[in-house]
């Protein structure tokens, strides 16, 4: 079950200002919510992936209030849903952040080759968002989001989160809102060879958002922009990324099927998850000659005091 996307699906192959009720968005502290991802220059985009998505959703977006209350989850990602007064009110509360959230919602829910458009009546600006993964076909078509679609879109938003606002590709495995397996080629599995994390929850119903790890712990020289669900020797993730709640090892709370997890349970509630894989080349190591965004200056060879790459601190 796979999907390079941070994605691809069917040939294609992310909550705290809201009292954590139902908001979705992007996990990237310190990044400009309105910033656009650069056009992928990755050679994978021209190989077996029909589309390659990158993750840089900020967790400010995951906290953005409103989707469960503005009717979008009920009206669907159709013209009627995006033209409602409630949606306009939600969007107008913070246009830059709403733009980022919608970019990822449409990317996750709507199939590749389709777009969704919203015209801001206040500014007469037309906003267009491009579909990619098609994980919620019913909701994308204008129907109310089913529970399965709510869960898988929530998981997809979480999987796209990146606390550094840096885009790196990931492979996404699992099933869509209809229970259909997300296809993954042997090439994809071999390229994205390192199992990373599991993501699940339901933002639409205020049931939280969770992440677990399935990767070997990072050593003191290693770092990654995917720090919210990747552990080090302490057994905990390098960063705390509210509203994501870290649940430990994926295998402790999830049932695995092949290369993906089929179901994850927290607090007696079972969720449909997405499972992610990454490329070894996207892991940073102190001493490789480049001061990465995940590294800091210092007088050691650890990621947070990497003299070899970032020099001595002033």
pLDDT at position 285: 96
DSSP state for residue 12 in the 8-state scheme: T
Q: How many helices (H) and strands (E) does the chain have?
A: 10, 16
Segment 176-185 mean pLDDT: 91
Find the farthest-apart pair of alpha carbons in the chain and give their distance in angstroms, rounded: 58
- pLDDT on residue 278: 87
3-state secondary structure of 128: strand
Question: Comparing 48-52, 125-129, 133-137, which segment has the lowest mean pLDDT?
Answer: 48-52
CA angle 127, 128, 131 (to 5 degrees): 150
CA distances from 296 to 48, 164, 235, 289, 303 (A): 36, 13, 22, 13, 7
Average of per-residue pLDDT across 251-258:
93
Q: How many CB atoms lie within 10 A of CB 80?
A: 12
Tokens representing 181? 């397996």
pLDDT at 72: 60
- pLDDT band at residue 161, thresholds of 50, 70 and 90? confident
- What are the residue ranges spanned by the domains of the chain? 26-280, 283-314
Averaged confidence pLDDT in the chain: 78
pLDDT of res. 116:
93
The overall pTM is greater than 0.85: no
Is the confidence at residue 275, as pLDDT, over 50? yes
Position 137 scores a pLDDT of 94
Instruction: Judge contact between 159 and 276, C-beta under 8 A.
Output: yes
- Residue-level pLDDT at 281: 87
- pLDDT tens for each residue of 107-124: 899 998 999 999 988 889
Query: Closest by alpha carbon to 192, among 258, 276, 108, 135?
Result: 276
| Mean of pLDDT values over 34-43 | 38
């Amino acid at each position: 079950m796979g999907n390079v996307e941070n994605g691809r699906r069917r040939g294609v192959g992310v909550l705290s200002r809201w009292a954590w009720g139902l908001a979705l968005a992007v996990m990237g502290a310190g990044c400009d919510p309105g910033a656009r991802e650069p056009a992928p220059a990755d050679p994978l985009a021209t190989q077996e992936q029909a589309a390659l998505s990158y993750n840089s959703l900020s967790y400010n977006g995951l906290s953005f209030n409103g989707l469960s209350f503005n009717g979008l989850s009920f009206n669907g990602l159709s013209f009627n849903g995006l033209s409602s007064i409630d949606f306009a009110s939600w969007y107008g509360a913070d246009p830059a952040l709403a733009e980022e959230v919608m970019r990822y919602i449409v990317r996750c829910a709507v199939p590749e080759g389709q777009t969704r458009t919203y015209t801001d009546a206040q500014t007469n600006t037309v906003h267009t968002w491009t579909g990619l993964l098609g994980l919620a076909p019913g909701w994308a078509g204008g129907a109310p989001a089913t529970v399965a679609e709510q869960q898988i879109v929530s998981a997809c938003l979480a999987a796209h989160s990146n606390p550094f606002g840096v885009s790196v590709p990931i492979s996404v495995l699992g099933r869509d809102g209809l229970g259909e397996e997300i296809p993954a080629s042997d090439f994809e599995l071999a390229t994205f060879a390192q199992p990373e994390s599991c993501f699940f929850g339901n933002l639409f119903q205020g049931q939280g958002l969770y992440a677990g790890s399935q990767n070997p712990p990072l050593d003191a020289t290693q770092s990654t922009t995917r720090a919210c669900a990747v552990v080090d020797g302490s057994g905990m993730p390098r960063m705390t990324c509210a509203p994501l709640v870290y649940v430990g090892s994926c295998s402790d709370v999830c049932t695995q099927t092949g290369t993906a997890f089929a179901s994850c349970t927290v607090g007696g509630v079972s969720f449909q998850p997405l499972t992610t894989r990454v490329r070894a080349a996207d892991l940073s190591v102190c001493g490789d000659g480049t001061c990465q965004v995940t590294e800091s200056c210092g007088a050691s060879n650890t990621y947070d005091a990497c003299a070899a790459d970032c020099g001595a601190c002033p």
